Amino acid sequence: MPAYLHDDFLLSCAAARRLYHEAASGEPICDYHCHLPPADLASRRTFEDLHAAWLGGDHYKWRAMRALGVEERLITGDADPRAKFQAFAESVPRLIGNPLHHWTHLELRRCFGIDTMLDGGSAQEVWDEANRILAATPAPALLRRFDVRLVGTTDFAADPLDHHAALASDPIEGLRVVPTFRPDACHQLGDTAAWNRAMDALGAAAGVEIDSLATLVDALKRRHAFFGELGCRASDHGLLALPDAAPSESAAARVFDRLRGHDEAAAGPDGQASFSAYLMHLFGKLDHDDGRVHQLHLGAARNLNAAGFDALGPDTGFDAIGDARQGPGLVRHLSALAAAGRLPRTVLYNLNPVDNHLFATVAGSFQGRPAGGGSTAPGHVQFGSGWWFLDQDRGMRDQIQTLMEVGVLSTFIGMLTDSRSFLSFPRHEYFRRILCDEIGRRVDAGLIPDDADLLDGIVRGICFGNAMAFLGVQSERGSQAGK
């Protein structure tokens, strides 16, 4: 019986094993979308214990513990960290088949050299050993263990980016930390009081009195430029779906004026569609003109449990895969930008797997510049890696297979952790094993030529070089497919 997570786990054949061990495993990491707190990087934080480093912000773990009936006091509540870790340890054995079970043990092995199975009985020894190592391993050292070369944090458009400025003047050797412009709060019209507070914050950050659509646009342009001064290489937009509405300045201005007057009715479906369509068109043009990547995270139904949201806020484990219709709004958004000759390098992430083929084929419809205007980056419009509820074995395989079959795999920019923990970088290993297995199985089946030089270059590009090139960041290492 093979050992759990043995050296060749997820690698079902010789070709897959060779690809992973010879091409994928040694590549550096470009984690272009995550939620690592930039303050922890700037301060070179040393985590006080394993709970702070591993459980403190991970709603994947919180969600699983709730499903096992663990009381909230031991998840996000006021229990002491060791008691919370004990509750998590006792939960782990009952998570078989869930990627958390894999990630938990991969992270213990790769970050701490601990190959003990985590359960209630081993919790104390794991806690003691991991804390011993954490005490001597500040955050940057954790990243160096995985040869992380770039981290793309996720930052609200009004964020002062103080920590990124600190890192710019006192950089971590060998690591690029780039902010990502995330203006989602501008779209959240459902709570007009909160939206107006977001407008106030944005105006204060930009030095603009936001009292009209024109002043909002001015503030957003100033903030977009400010992010660029601190190294921003991408924007990011998390919406349930893009609105199926034409970007109309007059319609958006009418909605703005009513919202600024706290007219709740303006936040209805038509107002939301008009306002968001206009803003998204603006963001796409700004990204194009500044040479930045335009990320679209679509399909999450967020904060579904009102009691949970009221108690704990967003990103705390009360979200799900949404069933919104994605096609019309997505196509309209990309079409309008392409028609203007200002479609930026774009990444489309769907959250509902039923949309895999839709997103992959829509991406394929907007490659290149058919109306002229020169060449584009390889994979100008990306079908993004399995995300959130899809960043597990089946979700990643489905995405890779779909991209391979209806798109172009070799230009793929690969995986991201999307995590809030510095211990999550083995997710790249998990992805790389699956990638090599998907290719290797087809080599064994005679469906892909067994050309080691070709395949190694493609795999290395997907693991690292393609993402660095897509972001426009020079990398000392890492080959890039298509170059």
Ligand X SMILES: O=C(O)[C@@H](O)[C@H](O)[C@H](O)C(=O)CO
Instruction: Give me the 408-437 binding string for ligand X, x by CB under 6 A, dash otherwise.
Output: ----------x-------------------
Tell me: does residue 31 bind ligand X (CB under 6 A): no
Q: How many amino acids of this chain bind ligand X (CB under 6 A)?
A: 7
Give 295 or 480: the residue with its C-beta nearer to ligand X. 295
- The residue from 23, 30, 35, 298 that contacts ligand X (CB under 6 A) is 35
Tell me: does residue 101 bind ligand X (CB under 6 A): no
Give 131 or 154: the residue with its C-beta nearer to ligand X. 154
Identify which of 336, 328, 185, 324 has the alpha carbon closest to the alpha carbon of residue 247.
Answer: 336
CA distance linking residue 20 with residue 433, whole number of Å? 6
CA distance linking residue 382 with residue 306, whole number of Å? 34
Helix (H) or strand (E) holding 300: strand 300-301
The 29-31 sheet, strands edge to edge: 29-31, 148-152, 176-178
Give 90 or 319: the residue with its C-beta nearer to ligand X. 319
Tell me: does residue 315 bind ligand X (CB under 6 A): yes
Q: At a CB cut-off of 8 Å and minimum separation 6, what does 311 contact?
A: none
CB 314, min distance to ligand X, A: 7
Site for ligand X in 295-314 (CB under 6 A): 297
Give 356 or 417: the residue with its C-beta nearer to ligand X. 417
Identify which of 460, 298, 287 has the alpha carbon closest to the alpha carbon of residue 380.
Answer: 287
- The residue from 141, 201, 388, 482 that contacts ligand X (CB under 6 A) is 388
Instruction: Give me the 193-222 binding string for ligand X, x by CB under 6 A, dash otherwise.
Output: ------------------------------
Burial of 85 (0-12, 13-18, 19+ CB in 10 A): buried
CB 94, min distance to ligand X, A: 22
Q: Are 279 and 183 in contact (CB under 8 A)?
A: yes
Helix (H) or strand (E) holding 63: helix 59-67
Q: Are 281 and 204 in contact (CB under 8 A)?
A: no
CB 267, min distance to ligand X, A: 21
CB 114, min distance to ligand X, A: 24
How big is the chain, counted in residues? 483
* Sole residue written with tokens 């998204």: 280
CB 34, min distance to ligand X, A: 8
Tell me: does residue 238 bind ligand X (CB under 6 A): yes
**Residues at the site binding ligand X, with contacts judged by CB under 6 A:** 35, 154, 238, 297, 315, 388, 418
